[in-house]
Structure 1
């Protein structure tokens, strides 16, 4: 199998082409979502990692391709948005408050010996509040217009421009908010030693760290799909169908 020239790609492009590569980047703590536009070589060196080491892992992954990895890059944009809404938006609203309840209980019991829990609690609370506003903007403003553009293209017709002339502006806002969430969860990861339970952690403490890790992983996929596939696709669509 012909290997990809990763050095000519951004990390976001690599993951968009094959989402299985996200596991490799996550292992090296290379941000493929909020900083997906960073060139591969630069992203590796920013983490103090030899790019050739990562290339070997990516090549090995390509040679042993898993068939069950979704081909997100091959999905039509309306299906991608459906997936984000039904998997990620619903997931945040369903799981976020459950995690917060457990985190509050763990913080109440363990913050005396683990004061970092107070900061984690505040970061997660602010994240849920800001994410709720973020999701509403996507659901009520941006995504309905992208659906409209997609339908226009499917029917071979044109559609009116976005109310503020272009979707570039709301997309820039969404990307900025994504970066803020990425920074928050990077702080949570640092405060929890990469979501690792301390030796004196009870079952609830261990469970909430596991749930925070899963929430973080889902958020990475969510942001990746929007920043690296949906948003570029929507801007391309805008050029094709608006008048």
Structure 2
């Protein structure tokens, strides 16, 4: 069971930069509007690695955690409140995940594959070309589709029927698959120089990378909402 279950609510917590270092990335992503942007900037995995403390996650990337904690602390003073899905019924969060992420991924990946094929066909001889990206995206599409079907056909109906107390086995499987999706996203970053097009990239190449950035961020947020909110609430019901 996730350690985030043991953490107090944000109103009970010391919000100083020093205290933030020992809170989990998943909890911080839920509590602080804009925290995920900071985590993206430092390439910290708040979805699959959401159980790690900010200190451990930063040190694992050989980063100084203090500036990251300071950036999060400053966000707390300036950011507008964000929607807190932890307080919503599970059915509402499931409906949001289906509409905002499942449907969206099914739109994103075919077009990204088409663009990746085009870039590799035209620019494959260039050192900066992300050769192998189209095949990697096809693999991600296949794995993600199977994963989403398990949620739609098995887990989500269980939770909607109030059977969260019996959901531990499928949740365990889905968490492992989330870890695999996280590894696939890391490979995507390697193939694309962290989704950074070269200076002389054509319009198709730039459109591909804009789409990849959106897909990357959407999938991380999707996994975060499931790992750190939906699954936690189901197991704690």
Counterparts of 1:50 and 1:117 in 2: how far apart (Å)?
31
1:84 is aligned to 2:91: no
Distance in 2 of aligned mates of 1:212 and 1:181: 14
**Residue 208 (structure 2) pairs with residue 208 (structure 1):** yes
**Out of 6, 14, 17, which is 2:31 matched to?**
17
Kept after mapping to 1: 8 A contact 2:25/2:46: yes
Task: Let me know the Cα RMSD of the aligned residues.
Answer: 1.9
Alignment correspondent of 1:3: 15
Check conservation: 1:88, 1:218, Cα contact below 8 A: yes
Which residue number in structure 2 is paired with residue 140 of structure 1?
153
1:127-171 CA distances to partner (integer Å, 9 max, x unpaired)?
00110110000000000110111xxxxxxxxx6x87xxx311111
Partner residue in 1 for 2:142:
129
| Counterpart in the other structure of 1:105 | 118
Residue in 1 that maps onto 2:51: 37
Give 2:7's aligned residue: none
Q: Which residue of 2 aligns with 1:96?
A: 109
Worse overlay, 36-45 or 140-149:
36-45
> Which is further off, 24-33 or 111-120?
111-120
Between the two proteins, the alignment pairs up a number of residues equal to: 223
Structure 1, 180-189 or 128-137: larger mean CA deviation: 180-189
Could you tell me which residue of structure 1 aligns to residue 65 of structure 2? Answer: 51
**1:236 Cα deviation after fit:** 1.4
Gaps of 5+ in 2: 1-10
The CA distance in 1 between the partners of 2:127 and 2:174, in whole Å, is: 34
Match of 1:153 in 2: none
Cα displacement (A) at 1:114: 4.2
8 Å contact kept, 2:38–2:68? yes
Alignment partners' CA distance in 2, 1:143 and 1:99 = 28
- Give the corresponding residue for 1:222: 222
Q: Deviations over 1:61-84 (max 9, x none)?
A: 0000224x3222332221111110
Structure 1 residue matching 2:131: 3-state secondary structure: helix
Q: CA deviation at 1:96?
A: 1.3
**Per-residue deviation, 1:116:** 5.1
Aligned equivalents of 1:121, 1:226: Cα separation in 2: 27
